[in-house]
Amino acid sequence: MAVSVPIPARPAPDAAQGPWRWIRRNLFGSVFSSVATIVLAIVLGKLLTHLAQWGVIHAVFRPSASECQAARGTGACWGVVAEKYRFILMGRYPFDQHWRPLVSTIVMVALLIISCMPRFWRAWLPFAWVGALILDFVLMRGGLFGLEVVTTDLWGGLPLTIMLSTVAIALAYPLSIVVALGRRSKLPAIHSLCVVYIELIRGVPLISVLFMASFMFPLFLPVGSSPDVLIRVLAGITLFSAAYLAEVVRGGLQAIPNGQVEASATLGLSFWQMQRKIVLPQALAMVVPGIINSFISTFKDTSLVTIVSLYELTGDVTLALNSDVNWRPCQMEGL
């Protein structure tokens, strides 16, 4: 007669995850990996030590130009930030009106954060963006509700950077979708027009586009009828960003199998119904990394507006330090 004998309990296996398991597998998985990890750790430790000595231990935090000059070569001069931060952040905007670009920037950044959260993707969000853009221009420009008028040549710093990148992205995104669809169109006129636009814009640097928009475009208009330089710059950045973004969207459109398009047509969907319900949701989801890269590139490209005498955040750093000989050697700390 068979007798069932219980097996004694065994210890639980080691956890397959955890920080120590990850370190052992990725940093010390072999002799070569272990040596490389140790060497890089030594080099990084030395760099961090020198950085701590330069940036913290021997640094000057008081806004004293004489102390900063004495500490050159041994410590950082963070006093330039304490001395020039208002000019760097707000540019040449009137000092007593700094609350206006501050409120405008806070509203814009708050909407950017909200727009990244799916739970806020409601029907009111586009109207909130329209209201925020109107509020931004009203606060920055003035002339309404008793606000002092501030011309666009005095706008600068962080508010100008946020405004240029946000408005350019908001306008370039839908334009790029239309252009990408037009490039894949079977209508020769629309296809050719979109191809010429994309290849022409992508074939020149943004500096050329800004130069044309700011200096050449007014020559073709009657005297006194040229739009404001800020509007021309916004149009140039938008058209430039849309051309690059259109190619990203076109890559997503080409990734959709033709079978889905044919199935949508057999169901009786129109072209725009097919694009809105079947094609675009999948295509745009596939190219999210490329879209984000284009958005980051647009944000970085705003630094080029200094060519038309609009000083955004990095331009204001240079302007603030070059205008004061005492702080001119502190470019690195300012940036």
What is the band of 178 on the pLDDT scale with cuts at 50, 70, 90?
A: very high
pLDDT per position as a tens digit, 279-299: 888 898 899 999 999 999 999
Give percent of the chain with pLDDT exceeding 70.
Answer: 98
Residue scoring higher pLDDT (308 or 191): 191
What is the band of 42 on the pLDDT scale with cuts at 50, 70, 90?
A: very high
Q: Is the predicted pLDDT of residue 160 greater than 80, yes or no?
A: yes
What is the band of 3 on the pLDDT scale with cuts at 50, 70, 90?
A: confident
pLDDT per position as a tens digit, 201-246: 988 888 888 888 887 777 777 777 778 888 888 989 999 999 999 9
Residue scoring higher pLDDT (64 or 107): 107
Q: Is the predicted pLDDT of residue 16 greater than 70, yes or no?
A: no
Contact status, residue 312 vs residue 157, Cβ threshold 8 Å = yes
- Output the DSSP codes for 37-66: HHHHHHHHHHHHHHHHIIIIIS-B-SS-HH
Residue 171: burial class (beta carbons within 10 Å; 0-12, 13-18, 19+) = middle
pTM of the model: 0.79
Q: Is the predicted pLDDT of residue 95 greater than 70, yes or no?
A: yes
Contact status, residue 282 vs residue 53, Cβ threshold 8 Å = no
Residue scoring higher pLDDT (248 or 332): 248
Please, what is the end-to-end C-alpha distance for the chain in angstroms? 86
Q: Where are the alpha helices (DSSP H) in the chain?
A: 19-26, 31-52, 65-70, 79-90, 99-115, 124-141, 157-183, 188-202, 206-211, 229-254, 258-266, 271-274, 280-286, 288-301, 313-322, 331-334
What is the band of 263 on the pLDDT scale with cuts at 50, 70, 90?
A: confident
pLDDT per position as a tens digit, 305-322: 888 888 888 888 888 888
Q: Is the predicted pLDDT of residue 14 greater than 70, yes or no?
A: no
Contact status, residue 77 vs residue 71, Cβ threshold 8 Å = yes
R_g of the chain computed on alpha carbons: 28
What is the band of 13 on the pLDDT scale with cuts at 50, 70, 90?
A: low
CA–CA separation, 316 and 322 (whole Å) = 10
pLDDT per position as a tens digit, 211-222: 888 877 777 777
CA neighbor of 282 nearest in space, from 253, 258, 259: 253
CA–CA separation, 79 and 327 (whole Å) = 9
For the ranges 196-200, 251-255, 266-270, the lowest mean pLDDT is seen at 266-270
Q: Is the predicted pLDDT of residue 332 greater than 90, yes or no?
A: no
Neighbours of 103 (CB within 10 A): 15
Residue 258: burial class (beta carbons within 10 Å; 0-12, 13-18, 19+) = exposed
Residue scoring higher pLDDT (161 or 322): 161
Predicted confidence at residue 1, as pLDDT, reads 65
